[in-house]
Amino acid sequence: MTERLSPGDVAPDFTLTTDTGESVTLSDLRGGKVIVYFYPAAMTPGCTKQACDFSESLESLKTDGYTVLGISPDKPEKLGKFRDKEHLTLTLLSDPDKAVMTQWGAFGEKKLYGKVVQGVIRSTVVIDEDGKVEHAWYNVKATGHVAKLRRDLGLSED
């Protein structure tokens, strides 16, 4: 079983490449709150719905002090196509070797159509200003997740 993060844990630091080839380091974002969400694959229906929901909520999340990072095993080139096709405004990060996903408990055994498989576990982790886990949700649903997240964080709906 993959070790999952819990509230109070220090979020493991990472540096990953964006869809534009820049690097993002989590510890550089200290002093602000960060929503890190893990999704299986760009341009699939559930992942597209979730990314679009985050994009649509991005301005109000920023106003509430949050940076949003979406992480998948896709290569930066595919993430760039995903961004362009869906007009996404959030930061998309590439974790092709799944090292960050594994470290964050977002890769491992999961059930897919009744079978146990190794894969990306759709997860969302909220990090506070000091780099500690405030909330960690695993096996989240793609549809309606952003609205639920806003409710759970006590943020108003858009």
Domains annotated for the chain, with CATH where assigned, are 9-152 (3.40.30.10)
The pLDDT tens digits for 91-103 are 999 999 999 999 9
Is the pLDDT reported for residue 45 higher than 90? Answer: no
pLDDT of residue 157: 63
The pLDDT tens digits for 46-65 are 888 999 899 999 999 999 99
pLDDT of residue 107: 95
> Catalytic residues, which ones?
47
Type of residue numbered 2? T
pLDDT of residue 3: 84
Q: Average pLDDT of the chain?
A: 92
